[in-house]
A = this chain, B = another copy of it.
Amino acid sequence: MCRWAAYSGDPVYLEDLILSPAHSLIEQSHHARQAKTPINGDGFGVAWYGDRDEPGLYRDILPAWADRNLESLARQIRSGLFLAHVRASTIGETSRVNCHPFVMGNWSFMHNGQIGDFAVLRRPLELALDDTLYNARTGSTDSEILFLLALQFGLDKDPQAAFARTIRFVGDEARKRGVTPFIRFTAAFSCGRRLFAIRYASDEHAPTLFWAKLESCRSICLVSEPFEDASRQWQPVPPSSFVTVEDGNLSLTPFCIEKAARAA
């Protein structure tokens, strides 16, 4: 279980989410309250959109609370759209290539959750990737594969359908191998224009997700657990939701892996 925060709105310094709030993301890296473990110290990362189509990416293996580079970058870099993540490792070594966010072209992606029986599923999931995406695999996490599968299944065209198909595919491959599908998937991702998020699980325990609005800078924040930020009213995102953020507005639709995947 990891913790993450995503932002869309008028440009702000990254520190406004990562460092400054009481119970900020860095605070959550050692004192998370709504996660299985309070410690999310197995690396961190941030992807932000600036002048270019592709996002910037800074990931490193120290706990977020100990990284002076992160502190300085968060004070300097302003962005109107960014993802930030602190990792509690379940699969894969503490290595930059296993840290979130993952970036491919203009897309960025980060995830909190896991795939059950990944040892059985890793190969069939990787096999579904075309050569370019297959070779783009640099780490060994389930999260990276979920991102690459969504790219494979049309993330560029229909983000909701692409992830629905991805998750359904993971379930189908599990069933084919006689294991019960198990996936927990609370993720945020962006193409650089819009910010998306999904809260979903194959059981009753979808990892938490909250959102809040700040009118004054037309901004939406999405977080694994709320900051203590009196200026914002945090609201839970219901399980099985697909979130789209654009122009300071958040829309919530049911995320049904059957229907959405069929539409794809």
Residues of A within 8 A of B (CB): 30, 37-39, 41-42, 48, 50-52, 54-63, 66-69, 72-73, 75-78, 89, 92-97, 119-120, 122-123, 126-127, 131, 134-135, 137-138, 140
Contact = CB atoms under 8 A, between A and B. Distances in A.
Contacts of A73: 56, 58, 73
Given A55-B76, A120-B131, A122-B134, 10 more contacts: A30-B37, A30-B41, A50-B76, A51-B78, A56-B72, A61-B66, A97-B97, A123-B131, A123-B135, A137-B140
Contact of A69 (B38, B58, B76): B58
Given A61-B62, A95-B96, A77 B75 contact: no
A69 B69 CA distance: 11
A179 to B, nearest CB: 13
A122 to B, nearest CB: 6
Contacts of A48: 76
Cβ-closest 6 pairs across A and B: A56-B76, A66-B94, A57-B72, A95-B95, A41-B41, A138-B140
Contacts of A120: 131
B94 A69 contact: no
A59 B30 CA distance: 22
A63 B87 CA distance: 13
Nearest to A56: B76
17 contacts: A41-B66, A50-B76, A57-B68, A57-B72, A58-B72, A60-B60, A62-B94, A66-B94, A76-B77, A93-B96, A93-B138, A95-B96, A95-B97, A97-B97, A119-B135, A127-B127, A138-B140
A96 B75 contact: no
Contacts of A123: 127, 131, 134-135
B75 A52 contact: yes
Contacts of A135: 119, 122-123
A94 B68 CA distance: 9
Contacts of A140: 97, 137-138
A67 B54 CA distance: 18
A120 B30 CA distance: 30
Contacts of A62: 61-62, 94
Contacts of A56: 72-73, 75-77
